[in-house]
Amino acid sequence: MSGEEGICFLCHRKVRHKNKRDGEELSLKESNTQDLTIGRPIVQILLFAIPLVLGTLFQQLYSFVDTVIVGRFIGVDALAAVGTTYSLNFLILGFAQGLCVGFGILLAQQFGARDRAELNHYFINGCYLSAGISLFLAVITCVGARPLLKLIRTPEEILDMAVLYIQIIFIGIPATVLYNYMAGALRAVGDSRHPFYYLVISSVLNILLDYLFIVPMNMGVAGAAWATVLSQLVSGILCTWWFLTRTGVMERKRCFMAFSPYHAKKLCLIGLPMGFEYSVSAIGAVVMQGAINSLGSVAVAAQTAGEKIRQMFTLPMESVGMAMATYVGQNYGAKKIDRIYQGIRSGLTIQYSYCAVIWVVIFVMKTPLVGLVLSETTSATATGAVEYLTIMSALFFIHGSLMIMRNTLQGLGYSMQAIISGVGELIGRSLGGILAVKVLGFFGICIANPLAWGLALCYCIVMVTYYLRKLR
């Protein structure tokens, strides 16, 4: 190749890229990084997405084991105390995760542009911002934990346990941010495998610590919380070590260490909107939960059972979306707009193929699947869960399309548009909740999420089309 070599993802040969900014060469050693600006888009996206898919599925598995340990060894009240913090957890930690995803987009763009200097500047300033924001969030959420839990009507008998649990989780926000930022940085330079490896390590560690803290040490819900925080800290440290020592993209130069208002501002312009987009989605979930609660305990149990199964099937689609954001970010940085179009088509092909397969699986196996969650498959609850799965699975393609289009916007750096699409989801879930309560009953709950996805998708399609045409 004249002046520029590509990365062989399978054999990990040495790669050298010319830095367009200052003439330095970006040399990527045997680092498991993946250059998404070369090769067949569908193959590149799949190779990049597979570790992400495995990671999300494994995370769900250990979360389930975590729940079992708390329920079996501490009790029902403890399980309820941990469960009642979910929406609050989702709201705060979702913001932190979205922030880190946004920071990673700029890193991916600079990697695609082969600009080592700018990549280093953005990375260091992202570290400063992540540290500052995570410490600020940790302080204010710890102080506000009890009032917030009271605000969402946490029952008095489990309030103290819920406060104890969530305060420790919030103390660990810097650890959560460390993992998410460093994992995002690794994905930005094309390495989706090592974040997965370290997630597996932290997940196993979490389970072991759960048992150690809860059973022999008798720490109760505090033990479950500390197990989560410590395991996240370990995975964050491992990701940091690998990025700094093995990727070959960082240079230890004094000029890169200084705080830059310019780079910090650009990071905030993308990261903060993405954080708010994640939070808006959480608010939508809280609103819909209120509507479900109003329909009675059977509806709540049916939706909960169906939703747990639904998430297992849709998480891979979200992982493909994450891969799409990195793919678009790198190709946008490399100014390869035609490859972005090709990537969108390839991403949609992957999503639709997957949706077709899982629709058949759910159609055939819906009753046994519900039986994995509910002991009685002939009850009204089981019937509702089967109805929920049947309707949702037929509309999964909307979710798959949204993941491609929204993450394309994010990869292009238009994270404010992601917030607006999140508002569309909020409106859709709220409308579904209103229809459920007023007219449609449980059917309204079944279509609330697809309605939310559809509204957000329409907006994202319009925006993606508009911005890509401007770039041509």
- Domain end point (choices 259, 282, 316): 259
9 has a pLDDT exceeding 60 = no
Count other Cβ atoms within 10 Å, centred on residue 157.
Answer: 10
Buried b (16+ CB within 10 A) or exposed e, 61-96: ebeebbeebbeebbeeebbbbbebbebbbbbbbbbb
The C-alpha atoms of residue 401 and residue 380 are separated, in whole angstroms, by 33
Are 323 and 255 within one domain? no
**All residues at 6 or more sequence positions from 449 whose CB lies less than 8 Å from its CB, including other chains:** 288, 392, 399, 428, 429, 432
Q: Single out the residue in 240, 259, 278 at which a domain terminates.
A: 259
415: closest CA among 84, 95, 35, 15?
95
Indicate whether 380 and 233 sit together in one domain: no
Question: For 159-175, what is each residue's pLDDT tens digit?
Answer: 898 899 999 999 999 99
| DSSP string computed for 113-130 | TT-HHHHHHHHHHHHHHH
Split into its structural domains, the chain has a count of 2
Average pLDDT of every residue of the chain: 83
Pair (255, 328) in one structural domain = no
Are residue 202 and residue 343 in the same domain, yes or no?
no
Residues 216, 339 within the same domain:
no
Characterize the bridge pairing of strands 25-28 and 15-18: antiparallel
State whether 225 and 329 are in the same domain. Answer: no
* 330 and 218 in a common domain: no
Decide if 114 contacts 6 (C-beta within 8 A): no
First vs last C-alpha separation in the chain: 26
* Pair 215, 346 in one domain: no
Is the pLDDT confidence value at 17 over 60?
Answer: no
Shared-domain flag, residues 210 and 317: no
- How much is the pLDDT for 13? 35
DSSP symbol at 28: E
- Residues paired with 26 in a beta bridge: 17
Q: For residue 302, is pLDDT > 60?
A: yes
Q: Residue 118 is part of which domain span?
A: 42-259
Q: Are 235 and 341 part of one and the same domain?
A: no
Q: Do residue 236 and residue 103 come from a single domain?
A: yes
279 domain residue, yes or no: no
Which residues face 25 on adjacent strands? 18
For residues 163 and 308, state if they share a domain.
Answer: no
In a domain, 443, yes or no: yes
**Residue 129 placed within a domain:** yes
Longest C-alpha distance within the chain, in Å?
70
Reported in sequence order, the residue ranges of 247-405 that DSSP labels E, i.e. its strands, are none
Closest to 170 in 3D by CA, of 244, 90, 254, 262: 90
Note whether 269 and 106 are within 8 A (CB): no
**pTM, to two decimals:** 0.78
